[in-house]
Amino acid sequence: MKARPEAVVPAAAGALLLAASLFPIYWMVASSLTPESRLFESRPLLPTAVTFEHYRALFDERDFLVPIRNSLLVSGLTTIVAVPVAALCAYALARLRMRGKGLLLAFVLAVSMFPQISIVPPLYLILRELRLLNTYPGLVLPYLTFSMPLAIWLLTGFFRQLPRDLEEAAMLDGATRMRTLRDVVLPLAAPGVASTAILTFLYCWNEFLFALSFTLGPDRYTVPVAIMLFRGRYQVPWGEVLAATVLATIPVALLVLACQRRIVAGLTVGATKG
Amino acid sequence: MNHRAVPIERGETRLAWLLVAPAVAVILLVSLVPIAVTAWEALHAHDLRLPWLGRPFIGAGNFMEAASDPRFGAALVHTVAFALISVPLELMLGLALAVMMHSAVRGRAFIRVSALLPWAIPTVVAALLWRFMFEAQTGILAASFQTFGLVGPAFDWFVHPLAAWVPIIAADVWKTTPFVAILLLAGLQTIDPALGEAARIDGASPAREFLTITLPLLAPALVVAAAFRMLDALRLFDLAYVITGGGPGTATEPLSLYAFIALMQRLRFGYGSALSVIVFLLTFAFALVWVRALGRSLSGARS
């Protein structure tokens, strides 16, 4: 059977798009394993010599574990604070009768669109006043500005997709709203809550501007800030920078591999809204 | 039943407000109050390097300064031009990727993972990676452009004021096209395949089927994706900061970056706040138009 042209063209275009998508990541990994001396000469696409020198330098000379720990702590804390509070709010928005629901949702969406730079000046002044610059709470609080609306928006979408029958049955049996929420809705919504938590964590892990503005020294730098500041004034230690970018990508890649369906669900519920 | 309906409803409304309250309080505290403070700060002359000058009220003084500041004007142009160039590219490529993902029979999980990876990696990582690939002489992309004779030997992408935009736009397109594709894929999956079959039976070519059936039905998803991307592009910061630092000179400096420099490097908090307010107004004006359009389409869908 001959392949039809209308099937071959999209397949070829698709393969090209996928290659364009993946090649930079491959190149990042391959380059991070290339000896510094070979990094700046033209070299074949497949590595000929492999070294872990850059990774060793990252931990022995730069203490890269500190920013990794900072990023994990700040992203984890923000997720733990934002998702439960957002879940309560989202349940009310998705299910309960109240006035101004549409307005409140529009408000949440609008807040999630705030350009980060527009709240940097007051947050800086407030955090300085409270002596929270260069602390973990001094990052978790600013991170709530984007993670809270994001989580509310996603969870409202997920709660709306749940079938109402079970909740109604539970309430007819005399369960209160809160009990219904705890015993019926939350277990059913667990996948949605997981998607929300994953996306919230990812956004925090990737955040740059707030971390750049509100941390003052290497003891509190998050991963993106630490990598960025590796760059010397005139020379970039590319080997180490690339090794660091690979390490910054590993948790993200693991999440994507393990939870691809959840992430897609989160992204689409956020955009199309149940 | 009717006599019980009213108290239940009242209790329910009270519960709803109770549930909503903590989240709304957090948002007010960490987002809305700061925005208001920024707006107030923007009306003052406030220089953290010159604390003895205090913080005198100067009304619209900072905004007047911005209006006559050529660096601000250039940053505004950069921001809008970046959005208008990168977003259409992302929509077109995203549409292609979505159609491919939709029609793929095998390897869907693989395709999904490879599309999600660029989207999920930190922007700073993406930025450094593209900087590395465009690095003069040694970067693999810079070298390829030379090999194919597209640029002269020793061409430095980061010295040329227009060429320096290429890595920024390329990184943005690379990183966000998958996001667009996933939104559009969700849209494609809601289209009834029977429509396409009917068109094919009537002898429509694939191109015609795509233009007259798929594209119109996909319009709402396209509008949503475009809006998300525009809002994001208008606040461009990370990529410009990391890839070019706004350079050469200020040739690739977007508004957010100029505001950041005014704030955190020059410590001119009054003027920097005024610039931040302008970024805010720019995105907010766009968001307002969009939320109204979205609200209309949602109420249309419900009725």
**Token output for B30:** 């960490």
Stated as kind and residue range, the H or E segment containing B61 is helix B61-67
**Token output for B81:** 């031009």
- Provide, as residue numbers in chain B, all residues whose Cβ is less than 8 Å from the Cβ of A128: none
CB B127 within 8 A of CB B245: no
- Distance CA(A150)–CA(A113), nearest Å, equals 9
Q: What structural domains and CATH numbers belong to chain B? A: 69-302 (1.10.3720.10)
- Using CA coordinates, name the residue in chain A closest to B112: A260
**Token output for B244:** 């070019």
- Provide, as residue numbers in chain B, all residues whose Cβ is less than 8 Å from the Cβ of A18: 111, 114-115
Per-domain residue ranges of chain A? 5-51, 64-272
Of A109, A177, A252, the CB nearest to B121: A252
pLDDT by residue (tens digit) across B220-240? 888 888 988 998 999 999 999
Of B228, B276, B298, the CB nearest to A271: B228
Is B268 strand, coil or helix? strand
Q: With cut-offs at 50, 70 and 90, classify the pLDDT of residue A61.
A: confident
Go through B155-166 and write b for each residue having 16 or more CB atoms within 10 A of its CB, e for each that does not: eebbeeeebbbb
**Token output for B37:** 């403070």
Is B47 strand, coil or helix? strand
- Distance CA(A210)–CA(B256), nearest Å, equals 12
pLDDT by residue (tens digit) across B51-91? 888 888 998 899 999 999 999 999 999 999 999 999 999 99
| Percentage with pLDDT > 70 across chain B | 93
Average pLDDT, chain A: 87
CA separation, residue A228 to residues A147, A174, A202, B140, B263 (Å): 23, 57, 18, 21, 19
Count of pairs with CB atoms under 8 A, one residue in A, one in B = 282
Is the confidence at residue B177, as pLDDT, over 80?
yes
**Token output for A3:** 């392949």
Is the confidence at residue A99, as pLDDT, over 80?
yes
- Distance CA(B35)–CA(B146), nearest Å, equals 47
pLDDT by residue (tens digit) across B245-293? 998 999 999 999 999 999 999 999 999 999 999 999 998 888 777 767 7
Q: Which of residues 10-39 of B touch A (CB under 8 A)?
A: 12-13, 15-17, 19-20, 22-24, 26-27, 30-35, 37-38
Is the confidence at residue B10, as pLDDT, over 80?
no
Beta-carbon separation of A41 and B138 below 8 A = yes
Q: With cut-offs at 50, 70 and 90, classify the pLDDT of residue B5.
A: very low
Is the confidence at residue A112, as pLDDT, over 90?
no
Q: Which residue has the higher pLDDT, B150 or A69?
A: A69
pLDDT value for B257: 96
Is the confidence at residue A28, as pLDDT, over 80?
yes
pLDDT by residue (tens digit) across A113-161? 888 999 999 999 999 999 999 999 999 999 999 999 999 988 998 898 8
Closest C-alpha among B129, B49, B203 to residue A246: B129
Q: Which residue has the higher pLDDT, A130 or A36?
A: A130
- Using CA coordinates, name the residue in chain A closest to B14: A98
- Provide, as residue numbers in chain B, all residues whose Cβ is less than 8 Å from the Cβ of A123: 30, 34
pLDDT value for B301: 45
Phi, psi of B47 (to 5 degrees): -120, 115
pLDDT value for A5: 58
pLDDT value for A41: 73
pLDDT value for A274: 37
pLDDT by residue (tens digit) across B123-146? 999 999 999 999 876 788 888 888
pLDDT by residue (tens digit) across A62-97? 889 999 999 999 999 999 999 999 999 999 998 888
- Provide, as residue numbers in chain A, all residues whose Cβ is less than 8 Å from the Cβ of B15: 92, 96, 177-178
pLDDT value for B262: 95
**Token output for B43:** 């009306």
Q: What is the mean pLDDT of residues A251-264?
A: 86
Average pLDDT, chain B: 87
Q: With cut-offs at 50, 70 and 90, classify the pLDDT of residue B14.
A: confident
Count of positions (residues) in chain B? 303
| Percentage with pLDDT > 90 across chain A | 45
pLDDT by residue (tens digit) across A194-214? 989 999 999 999 999 999 999
DSSP-derived secondary structure letter, B44: B
Residue with the two structure tokens 């249309």: B300
Of B16, B115, B295, the CB nearest to A98: B16
- Distance CA(A22)–CA(B128), nearest Å, equals 16
CA separation, residue B195 to residues A261, B144, B185, B198, B223 (Å): 27, 45, 17, 5, 22
Q: Does domain A64-272 have CATH number 3.40.50.300?
A: no
